[in-house]
Structure 1
Amino acid sequence: MFEITELNKLLKAHQISPTKRFGQNFLINANIVGKIARSLGNTTNRNILEIGPGLGVLTISLLQKDINSLTVVEVDRKFIPILEEIKANTSKAFHLVNADALKVVEEEIISGNYTIVSNLPYNIGSLLLVKWLKKMDFVDEIIIMLQKEVADRVLAEVATAEYGRLSVLAQYICHCEKLFDVEPENFFPAPKVYSSVIKLVPKTPKIELARIENIEKACKAAFNLRRKKIKTSLKPILSNPEEELMKIGIDFNKRAEELTVDEFDKISYIM
């Protein structure tokens, strides 16, 4: 691990303390940082997007790889001087954006396709992931650290408690894989929960946005009333759920969590 005394010196020098509203927990284990960077494999000619770089620990590791460019988006101004210093000490193409990642239009700050690598703030992790899932025309790969509970929802199998809208969206659009879990003691301050690093690779051919939006509408209707049978929950999007579901071979007495990703896909075509 990094020496906590060194971390404290850095925080003190820049008058920084973790901000709860930004979901800040600083990753302090160099081995975990290296493991995330190595998960990228060959990065030659790749543009990397990092969200919430904070103290720049992962940023420095990414800059040590053979990449085309690195763009970092940081909402908290107190980290900007540290990131500016990192920028001044690298010969790589380094773009620093002080903005809210939820509001940024990625295609406007990055030229060409990009790979997302990030230790995401807990409070906006799932919101950012849903945003990116709708932008897969531009994304080559996503490797992110999330709260383990959110990662479990992404990877959840049908008919489990964790299975829901996020599971269906992610698995419909991408090949999803857990890389490893990260214990709370690898952060400062230590969170009360575990984290997981996951990898998402867009399926080929990439799914059209119109299909994704239909899947999302179907998921919203079904999972908003997840304890109801789909003959009831899908009434907002189907004029005659029982008849229409029978035609495509889906049991209308199923509940949302019993529908496979393929079945949600079928439903999206009859909406």
Structure 2
Amino acid sequence: MADSLRDVVARHGLAPRKSLGQHFLLDEGVCGRIAALAGDLTGKHVLEVGPGPGGLTRALLARPLASLLACELDDRAIAALAEIGDPRLTVLHQDALKLDAVAALPAPRQIVANLPYNVGTPLLIAWLRHAAAFDRMTLMFQLEVAERICAAPDTEHYGRLAVLSQWTCECRVLMRLPPGAFTPPPRVYSAVVDLVPRAAQPEPALLAAMERLTAAAFGQRRKMLRGSLKSLGDAEGLLGGCGIASDRRAETLSIAEFDALARALLRRDA
């Protein structure tokens, strides 16, 4: 490209805003690596959230995707993205939290994004509710969030986000990036997480039951399950029916055990 990403930032006055959780990735080589991690994009309709000056946007458009929808809240970035001039690119000036990604994109759909730090987790949870609609999600988060998504049971980072993510998707960390890769450097490392939706996805009612279950179970992490699940009704009966000891804590349960509890909760409350 004629101009570097730093030239684009300077020309459009795109000083990163803390209020928007912005940390721009201006290394074109790293942007290209992230686009490659998304796999074969041939014929795919891709959503990117928080493109900023468009480094990852340009890297994605260098691949054979069918279309790219870039959702950007910062009005300063809209003009910068308009300079790209690729007919496959549509720039949407909108809050991504209010975007219906399934309705906005035809199939086959993928999401590839360096997510703004302040909205990464709520965006992911919203997309997980419709995981069946996406072929794959390749997303950058703060490293701590990435570790929470991929955590194993009975480890420091295992919690509600791990259960919801791993129940619906195969999850793995693909790349870690140091603070110095970004402008301005954040205080923490970042990581790219690969989420591939499982072939069998929960029905909406079962997903709602799992959200209720995990909210209660991890809402009071130090409590035994018989206490933390009390808000759901007969906790002892629910746990006993699944062969789970009531004195265990939420962080010790496997994804399969949470699945069994969610299904039992759904049957009981039907």
How would you bin the TM-score normalised by the shorter chain? Answer: over 0.9
Partner residue in 2 for 1:61: 59
Partner residue in 1 for 2:191: 196
Letter in 1 for 2:76: K
Q: Percent same amino acid at aligned positions?
A: 38
Shift of 1:148: 0.1
Letter in 2 for 1:45: G
Letter in 1 for 2:32: G
In structure 2, do the counterparts of structure 1 residues 120 and 137 end up closer, same or farther at CA, with 3 Å as the change threshold?
A: same
Match of 1:124 among 116, 119, 122: 119
Letter in 2 for 1:136: A
TM alignment of 1:19-34, pairs within 5 A: 19-34=17-32
Shift of 1:16: 2.2
Match of 1:176 among 171, 178, 182: 171
In structure 2, do the counterparts of structure 1 residues 94 and 36 end up closer, same or farther at CA, with 3 Å as the change threshold?
A: same
Q: Deviations over 1:46-89 (max 9, x none)?
A: 11100000001110111111111111100000001111111x2x
Letter in 2 for 1:209: P
Partner residue in 2 for 1:141: 136
Letter in 2 for 1:66: P
Q: Secondary structure at the match of 1:149?
A: helix
Partner residue in 1 for 2:48: 50
Shift of 1:205: 2.1
Q: Deviations over 1:228-263 (max 9, x none)?
A: 1101111111x3222331221111110111111111
8 A contact 2:28–2:59 mirrored in 1: no
Q: Secondary structure at the match of 2:96?
A: coil
C-alpha RMSD of the superposition:
1.6
TM alignment of 1:229-244, pairs within 5 A: 229-237=224-232, 239-244=233-238
Shift of 1:174: 0.3
**Structure 1 stretches of 4+ moved >4 Å:** 5-8
Letter in 1 for 2:146: A
Partner residue in 2 for 1:254: 248
In structure 2, do the counterparts of structure 1 residues 176 and 131 end up closer, same or farther at CA, with 3 Å as the change threshold?
A: same
TM alignment of 1:203-218, pairs within 5 A: 203-218=198-213
The two structures have a TM-score, normalised by structure 1, of: 0.93
CA distance in 2, matches of 1:112, 1:41: 16
Q: Deviations over 1:132-189 (max 9, x none)?
A: 1001131110001100000000011101121100000000000001101001111111
Shift of 1:8: 4.5
- Give unpaired runs (5+ residues) of structure 1: none
Partner residue in 2 for 1:161: 156
CA distance in 2, matches of 1:97, 1:259: 41
Q: Deviations over 1:179-208 (max 9, x none)?
A: 010011111111110000110000012332
Partner residue in 1 for 2:103: 108
